[in-house]
Chains A and B, each alone.
Chain A
Amino acid sequence: MQVFKAMFKVTKKRLPSVLAYMLVFLFISFVHARSATKDNKFEANRLKICVFDEDDTPESHALIDFIGKSNNLKTIENDRDVIIDSLYYGRVDYALIINKGYAKKLSAGETDDLFGSYHMDENYSVVYMGQLLDEYTTSVKAYITMGKTIDEAISSAEEALSQHTEVSMLRLDKGGDSHYSVDFAQYFEFMVYILISAVMIVVCQVLVTMNRKDIRFRTNCSCIKESKYTFQLFFGSCLFVLAMWLVLMIFGIILNKEMYAGRAWYAVLNSLIFAAVTATIAVFVASFEPKENVLNLITQVLGLGMCFICGVFVPISVLGEGVLAVARFMPAYWYVKANNMIAETEPYSLSGVLQCYAIQTLFAVAMIVLSVLVRKVKYSSAAIGTSVKKIAVHQ
């Protein structure tokens, strides 16, 4: 097992960079998992709202209290620049000004121009708050029309507005299967990036090193059989990928706080298949013998590219049709699709999941066939002959 041993010696040198990747990934997953919840009860969104009360009357205070009931009130400095920054960076969702004379106008039954709001763009928060304010003022006005005083009108309006419609979720437990929640599914989803990066950095780099001209020539003239050499390389790569995958799976158990069960096993199998696919991609890329900097670029492009295009970093629903059409030609798309089905963010069907498995496997087979082809052309005796001649001429 000379080749196998040599291979792991090279691998050892690459481990620190992989460890860095892994640690960052695991840390982020850990932080992410702590904020996750398993039950799936509907909660209304609470917006972050800052109110500048220029009227400062009991009526305006009542309104602020009312807004505060269903939203979070924030205080920020009343300075144009600070408000712009806060709105742009999402520190507050809505900046409301209660204009002077609010109480007077309201008790007179006028509802126009009661408020001002600092406006960045027409987003959902703006429309939502606009409706909420209109609703509040209309209700108060309605009660005033009934002949109530302003105080009574406000309290009656608040009472009327405190009725809430019953909202239920399509599925009670997140993901239809409590063993594989939507939040936990994210861990498997982000695994795409770490698998591609780590496998490419190590397997590809090691294979390129082992294939370096002088080492290659030395191996070729040793008595080891070609098939044995290839087998040992293959075995070594598989072992590394498997080890990495195992680490990720074990950490998954820790994150999930329970052993995989039920449908979660489908996700485990899915990730194993994807790990195999990345390994074959690494072998394929390595057969072109890229230089280190080019290899780093390819790793980043493949890793980030698949993650962005196939819906790992951003949900598939926001990606355009054109992008998805391209994504279908990438294994990560099918991995994510299977993962979504298992977590039931997409309708679940076993045959659908199996189909995704099959497509990923086909990618792996295609990669193997392609790399065998490339190697055949590159390392055929004729090709080696020419390269030896070239070297001889140079010297």
Chain B
Amino acid sequence: MFLHILKYELKNGLRNKDLIIWLILFPIVLGTFFKIAFGSVYEKNEKFSAIPVAIVEVNENPAFRQVVEGIESADVPFLKASFVTREKAEKLLDNGDVEGIIFTEDKLRLIVKEKGLQETMLKSFIDQYVVRESIAKDAMKNAPEKVQDVISVLTEETAASCREIPLTQGNPDPYIQYFYNLIAMVAMFGCVTGMHITMQNQANLSALGARNNCSPVPKSLNILACITGSCIMQAVCMIVCVSFLAFVLKIDFGDRLYLVYPTAILGGILGICFGFLIGSLSSLGEKTKAAVLMSVSMLMCFCSGLMVADMKVIIADKIPWFNNINPAAVISDCFYCLNIYEDYDRFITKLINMIVISVIFIALGFITSRRKKYASI
């Protein structure tokens, strides 16, 4: 009987267009938009590359020019300078082709268009030049006999004073969080499938429920078969979603993609359990239940950073326990751990967290839906 119900549950799911639209098409579309929008933000805005700057030589300043040319010829150049006229420079700045204009007057002067780290770096570069100049002058005034030594200290290529300790081999692009949350969203949308299980088993809510209730199959078996069917369908949706992100959009999930799949599937099951619990809690109509579920899962996704990536950090600061019980946050955290951490400790903790939440949901769901009798409908 289990297989019989399972078969019909699967058939039922396949013919449900909502499922295909919201669990397969929508994530694909949204994922594509995310890729278009955030795909190159990290490369362009955060990852270091030479800062383009225009230099207008009002007064000849060969020393400065020499310094700039020296920097440009370095292995990892800090500046990409172009020496131009004032009008040209302003046009370049206005169009966003350069980050700032340096005027070599008696004093160096900087004009920028925006306030940001790149502009700050330009400023600090000029500061540096000015500081070195003034130190050299100091030396001439106070210790003329050591000027040569001081200048050589200032100009020699010193080894970097800072040694970098690498933290991760994973993909450090913070925008990838949007894709984690996208997968979490698909997983949470599984709640609608989960809700259908209860609709089919509550005689006062659907004709199908009435029919199912008067069949001689034990309710537990019936529900178990339905849940299995839903999980299989949800798993397929999750696999499609992750595959699309990983292979079509070429999102870098770190080097453990084979673990991303089972994690996503577990997430999907969590979504179904959630829907199953909410569905069996109340006797609201189908549309209302679906609306409640959709808005609750969207709220969860919002809290885990689907719309605003900083949301999770804000919550981690203010109410850290919430990130451990918010299913969407737990799911997206799992992917984060897989990407960034080299050991499995935190990943496994999160995974157990996810399983515990699922088991609690499903147990509560069973408890609330058992022993319901319908004397008359």
Contacts and interface: CB of A to CB of B under 8 A. Distances in A.
Interface of A: 42-45, 47, 80-81, 83-84, 87-91, 96-97, 111-135, 137-139, 141-143, 145-147, 156, 160-161, 163-171, 291, 293-294, 297, 300-301, 304-305, 308-309, 313-314, 317-320, 323, 347
A135 B131 contact: yes
A94 to B, nearest CB: 10
27 contacts: A44-B124, A45-B115, A45-B116, A91-B317, A113-B161, A116-B163, A119-B166, A120-B167, A120-B172, A124-B48, A130-B162, A133-B161, A145-B149, A146-B146, A163-B130, A168-B109, A168-B112, A170-B94, A291-B17, A304-B33, A305-B29, A308-B34, A308-B36, A317-B96, A318-B44, A320-B36, A320-B39
A220 to B, nearest CB: 29
B131 A160 contact: yes
B49 to A, nearest CB: 9
B174 interface: yes
Nearest to A313: B37
A123 B127 CA distance: 21
B340 interface: yes
Contacts, number: 230
A166 B107 contact: yes
Interface stretch (B3-11, B134-142, B270-278): B134-142
Contact of A133 (B37, B120, B162): B162
B246 interface: no
B374 interface: no
Interface of B: 17-18, 21-22, 25-26, 29-30, 33-34, 36-41, 44-48, 78, 90, 93-96, 107-113, 115-121, 123-128, 130-131, 134-135, 138-139, 142-143, 146, 149-150, 153-154, 158-168, 172, 174, 310, 312-313, 316-317, 336, 340-341, 346
B142 A320 contact: no
A301 B29 contact: yes
Given A141-B153, A167-B110, A167-B111, A114 B162 contact: yes
B161 A84 contact: no
Given A81-B341, A122-B48, A169-B111, A116 B150 contact: no
Contact of B115 (A43, A122, A304): A43
Contacts of B159: 111-113
User: Which of A47, A88, A171 has the most CB atoms of chain B within a 10 A radius of its CB?
Assistant: A88
User: Which of A142, A160, A161 has the most CB atoms of chain B within a 10 A radius of its CB?
Assistant: A142
A116 B165 contact: yes
A121 B169 CA distance: 10
B119 A88 contact: no
A166 B110 contact: yes
Contacts of A135: 124, 128, 131
Contacts of B34: 308
B48 A123 contact: yes
